[in-house]
Amino acid sequence: MRILEFFGSSAVRVALAFVLVTTVATTAVFGLVYLRIGEANEARNRVILETEAAKSVDRSVEELKGAFEVRLTNDLRRIDYAALFDSNRKVMFGNIDALPPIPVDGKAHYVATMHVPGSDNRIEPVIFVARQRPDGNIMVLGRSLLETLAFRRTVQSALLAGLAPMLLLALAIGAYFARRSSRRLTAIHDTIARIMKGDTDLRLPVGARHDPIAQISRDVNLMLDEIGRLLVQLKGVGDNIAHDLRSPLAVVHAQLERGLESSSDEQLRTVARQALAHIDKAMLTVAALLRLADVEYSPTSRNFQSIDLSAICADLFEFYEPLAESKSIKMTLETKSPVQIQGDGDLMREAVSNLIGNAIKFTPENGSVSIAVFRENGLPVVRVRDSGIGVEPAERDKIFQRFYRTSSGHRVPGSGLGLSITAAIANLHELDLRFNDNNPGAVFEMVGRRR
Amino acid sequence: MNKAEARVQTIVLVEDEPAMMDEIKGELESKGYLVRPASIAQAADAARVGDAAMMIMDRIVFGEDSIVTLEALRKEGVKVPVLVISALSSVDEKVKGLKAGGDDYLTKPFAMVELSARVEAMLRRLDDVRTTKLRVGDLEMDLIEKTVHRASNRIELLPREFRLLEYFLRHPGRVITRAMLLQEVWQYHFSLETNVVDVHISNLRKKIDTKGTPSLIVNIRGAGFMLNANP
């Protein structure tokens, strides 16, 4: 299993391919050398022999005999053949016993198995030239190719001797890299397995190298960081949801218990009504959560149309004016000209409604709320300013978090999700939701994002 | 009891969640309707032969999207009012449901009183006739002149107050939820965490009510409001 896995790994396959390529390349070089050595040597010998044979034709038999003797005596390497045969093909002198089986045409011919004279059964390849002399005799010159053959053999054995260790070396190098990368992959694999089992703080080993594996590991680690951050956030949200739902549920539980123990129907009815109100509150929270998820995960540009922020604010101003009046809050609207953006009218109304609703909610009687819509440096701005309780400096980072309610705002009913939904809607429209201090009070504004 | 209410109206209900089915059935039967559970196909058949006063359809029933069938029914010219209920809450889904021919769209979770209020409003819509005057007791609204009189006294209303009152006058004796008012009078398709609607109602009351008599618009606890049909 382990071995199969080892050979199945891509690194090992690469190593094997490397070995194969090296072997083929080396063998090809050696093979070429091997062939070229033989060919060149043979071709040279052929020319020399043919020329010598041609030149010797004019010499007398005596001269020839002397020349042969000198030649054969000087031939310490025993590579020369020279002999003269009479017209009956009997040897007259020289070191060849019998006429080789070649045509007598003055051209060089290859004889693969020549019996070496003076030996018992040694055989060697020889190139012979046989040429008819004017006196009818046949002169034969030859040169052994044994040296070439030996050289070839040397090359051959060198190839074999060299190839084996080289193969081993290539295999070893391949195996080393395969093992190294497989060890890293195994480490990564094991880490991922542990992370999946819940060890979410673990990170993939990166190492000091800058190779693709390290790069991918780094990317995965960044992704894990981001997921981890989201997990923490999610856990916080989950805790908040649980808390926000538990309080009304606990109250409902207590109320219903009390109701069941009560003696009169009227009392039960009262209790049931109170319980219902609390359940409604819980449902409001659930609905707001769904709404938030809906806005946050909806694809952008949905069915966006050209919408006028001024008109939307004017509409909502009219809608909220009676509420402001009922709290003796002075509400003003500042819109000069249409401010067109691409967007979803329903969503934008919801976002602005949340801002105005909040402003009125957190502004005490006789305060003021002002709404302004305009363009600043070409960017659309919706600003809602109030003279309310404002936001404590320590809480300013948190107000955009889900479920966050300011310590002073805790007594005001609400899901705590309004600003989150507004921020999500603003984001969908490429607007930034910002908070500023109004001394006293708060300024919330949605400002177009510069591209 | 008027004539429309004397006849028992059948509501065909397409819902695959047993608990939800029981709740809706119980709520509507307590209001005097006959509720007939049905599959999508059965509902379509009932609608074709005119057996249903209205239909309530869950969007996804046993993995099937009911608005596909609804779309087909509308193409055939079947006009039965349909209330689409769904856990799919996005605005896009809502638009899709209404475009397919739904007359109203409710997102789960919803309160049962919200459901029955909408059902009553939808069934009521059928009885709408092209009237030019709406009247409850001594309160009269002229839709052409855009005037309102109470016992021959002219009442001046802002345009939005006029439309608010008009909606109540078109649904006398019916429970009307805040969400319905937001949707129908202001065309706002979101929920509010403030009591703006109550303030609007109370302003309207101040204008139309006469001193010493009970208000024409009564609060229905845990549900919304109702225009007293027989003051």
- Report chain A's C-alpha Rg in angstroms: 51
Q: Please tell me whether residue A190 adopts helix, strand or coil conformation.
A: helix
CATH class, B133-227 region: mainly alpha
The answer to whether residue B4 scores a pLDDT higher than 50 is no
Structure tokens at A209: 């190298």
Residues of A in contact with B188 (CB under 8 A): 319, 346, 349-350, 353
Domain residue spans of chain B = 3-127, 133-227
pLDDT recorded at residue A404: 54
pLDDT recorded at residue A307: 93
Cβ of B193 within 8 Å of Cβ of A415? The answer is: yes
Quick check: do B3-127 and B133-227 share a fold? no
The verdict on B190 touching A (C-beta cutoff 8 Å) is yes
Give whole-number Cα distances, A180 to A193, A207, B178, in Å: 20, 12, 69
Cβ of B90 within 8 Å of Cβ of A357? The answer is: no
Give A439 or B115, the one with higher predicted confidence: B115
Minimal CA separation from B203 to chain A, in Å: 8
The answer to whether residue A415 scores a pLDDT higher than 90 is no
pLDDT recorded at residue B3: 43
The answer to whether residue B213 scores a pLDDT higher than 60 is yes
Cβ of B92 within 8 Å of Cβ of A303? The answer is: yes
Average pLDDT over residues B173-201: 88
Ranges A48-52, A152-156, A332-336: which has the least confidence: A152-156
Give whole-number Cα distances, A64 to A9, A57, A140, B71, in Å: 74, 9, 11, 118
pLDDT recorded at residue B10: 92
**What's the rounded Cα separation, in Å, for the pair B135 and B69?**
39
**A253 in Cβ contact with A424 (< 8 Å):** no
Place of tokens 């190098």: A173
List domains and CATH numbers for chain A: 212-296 (1.10.287), 305-448 (3.30.565.10)
Q: What is the pLDDT of residues B147-172, one digit of tens each?
A: 999 988 999 999 989 999 999 998 88
ipTM score? 0.77
* Pair type for strands B64-65 and B133-136: unpaired
pLDDT recorded at residue B161: 92
Chain A's closest residue to B190, CA to CA, is: A350
* Confidence at A436, pLDDT banded by 50, 70, 90: confident
Minimal CA separation from A300 to chain B, in Å: 12
Ranges A303-307, A390-394, B204-208: which has the least confidence: A390-394
Is residue A349 within a helix (H) or strand (E), and if so which, with residue range? helix A345-361
Average pLDDT over residues A14-22: 78
**Size of chain A in residues:** 451
Closest partner CB to A347 (pick from B91, B191, B221): B91
Instruction: Give the domain B3-127 fold.
Output: Rossmann fold (3.40.50)
The answer to whether residue A8 scores a pLDDT higher than 80 is no
pTM for the whole structure: 0.60
Chain B's closest residue to A294, CA to CA, is: B90
Minimal CA separation from A244 to chain B, in Å: 15
